[in-house]
């Protein structure tokens, strides 16, 4: 039986990294190629250059109320294109000749090879479209390196389509999300299943006009803007491995990974999230108010969400997100050898380790000098038995590390 990625990752002292980048090219008529192709197979030679793949980062906004869509920045690919292998489709030497480069699909997988067993295990870390409209897609100054900007598939589609394109009519949030995304504009590229649509607060009686009977959303307003507003404070929209999810801000499923002390390269910035606490919430231009019990910090926040008009709905909305914003959440940052399986809202465990006896001398791991005994995680109060939710993950393919920002979730 082939080794899993975790088995290779955990047992190897020297990790043998493998990167696989595949393309599904856009046809000049309609649609896409039927199958994915390894880019290097298409050109039949090695084309990667040093630093050809930049950081890949996914994050939940760093506060307790404004989340709604996972922030997935663009991904940069840099290829050796000396012979025009990655030029525009007009160039007969290009792999895109006879196709369309803009909006062609890219899938990036990363993993490790085990030299003893010969097994290789990969995990998808990015899925998106080549964006030829971006200034980031360009040829380098020496006309050798081709820069391709790739944008997350869901985010690019959300920005592309407007309220007028979709013309939704559903008035319950879960039904509305399904109505928007369960159509060919999205399902041609993403798997959309109603079972994966479970908002943290299922807004009811969504109104398409305001209190003065004026349109709430306008024709050219992006679907992204609409969904972000209705998701404020309670739900997250994202895609993972080409599957769409709309879920409350809470860890998904069982523990994805336990990082033992021998895999922790750095532990940084332990904190309690007092600056993110809001225990008094208001609705703009109304007497709708929610207060925590008790009010500790008296930090206030005011909301005004399009589509939520009546008093009962507004109060229910504030009550729901107040239960989130009024809490303090512990958090810290760890850095580990590049681990491609971790994603936002995953549940992980971090085993810091300690030393015994109390009066022993140890080698300080960060400074390589002799120091009095201390838990090398320093002021960390987290405890090895705790579980944490991933709030941000950054894969750095140059340093071969993954930086993970975690938060408590209860």
DSSP string, 351-389: -----SSTT-EEE-TTT-SEEE---TTTT----TT-EEE
Regions in the chain scoring below 70 on pLDDT = 12-14, 50, 62-69, 270, 272-273, 353-383, 385
Of 169, 12, 145, which Cα lies nearest the Cα of 79?
145
Is residue 241 within 8 Å of 153, Cβ to Cβ? Answer: no
Alpha carbon 310 to chain centroid distance?
33
- Packing angle, helices 223-231 and 153-160, rounded to 10: 110
Assign 3 to helix, strand or coil.
coil
pLDDT at 116: 85
Residue 372 Cα distances to 268, 269, 378, angstroms: 20, 21, 12
**Cα(5)–Cα(120) distance, integer angstroms:** 8
The DSSP symbol for 30 reads S
**Cα(377)–Cα(379) distance, integer angstroms:** 6
Domains of the chain, by residue range, sit at 5-157, 158-243, 250-273+329-410
pLDDT at 370: 41
Dihedral sign (CA 263, 269, 271, 276): negative
pLDDT at 211: 82
pTM: 0.88
Is residue 70 within 8 Å of 60, Cβ to Cβ? Answer: yes
Is residue 205 within 8 Å of 221, Cβ to Cβ? Answer: no
């Amino acid at each position: 039986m082939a080794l899993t990625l975790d088995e290779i990752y955990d047992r190897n002292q020297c990790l043998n990294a493998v990167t696989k980048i595949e393309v599904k090219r856009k046809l000049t008529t309609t649609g896409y190629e039927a199958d994915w192709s390894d880019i290097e197979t298409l050109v039949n030679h090695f084309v990667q250059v040093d630093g050809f793949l930049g950081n890949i980062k996914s994050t939940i906004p760093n506060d307790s109320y404004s989340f709604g869509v996972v922030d997935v920045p663009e991904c940069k690919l840099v290829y050796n294109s000396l012979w025009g292998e990655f030029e525009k489709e007009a160039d007969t030497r290009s792999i895109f000749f006879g196709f369309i480069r803009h909006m062609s699909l890219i899938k990036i997988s990363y993993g490790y090879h085990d030299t003893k067993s010969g097994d290789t295990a990969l995990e998808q870390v990015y899925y998106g479209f080549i964006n030829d409209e971006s200034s980031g897609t360009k040829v380098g100054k020496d006309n050798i390196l081709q820069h391709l900007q790739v944008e997350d598939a869901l985010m690019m589609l959300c920005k592309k389509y407007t309220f007028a394109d979709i013309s939704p009519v559903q008035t319950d949030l879960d039904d509305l999300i399904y109505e928007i995304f369960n159509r060919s504009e999205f399902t041609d590229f993403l798997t959309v299943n109603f079972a994966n649509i479970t908002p943290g607060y299922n807004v009811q009686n969504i109104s398409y006009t305001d209190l003065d009977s004026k349109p709430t959303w306008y024709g050219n307003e992006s679907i992204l803007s609409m969904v972000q507003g209705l998701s404020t404070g309670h739900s997250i929209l994202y895609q993972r491995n080409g599957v769409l999810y709309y879920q409350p801000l809470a860890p998904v499923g069982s523990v994805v990974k336990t990082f033992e002390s021998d895999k922790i390269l750095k532990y940084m910035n332990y904190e309690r999230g007092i600056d993110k606490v809001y225990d008094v919430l208001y609705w703009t231009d109304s007497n709708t108010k929610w207060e925590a019990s008790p009010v500790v910090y008296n930090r206030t926040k005011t909301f005004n969400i399009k589509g939520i008009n009546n008093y009962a709905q507004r109060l229910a909305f504030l009550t729901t997100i107040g239960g989130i914003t009024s809490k303090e959440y512990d958090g810290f940052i760890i850095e580990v050898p590049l681990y491609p399986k971790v994603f936002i809202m995953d549940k992980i465990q971090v085993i810091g380790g300690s030393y015994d006896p109390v009066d022993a001398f140890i080698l300080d791991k960060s400074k390589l000098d002799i120091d009095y005994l201390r838990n090398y995680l320093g002021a960390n109060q987290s405890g090895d038995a705790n579980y944490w939710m991933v709030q941000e993950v950054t894969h750095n393919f140059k340093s071969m590390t993954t930086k993970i920002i975690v938060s408590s979730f209860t």
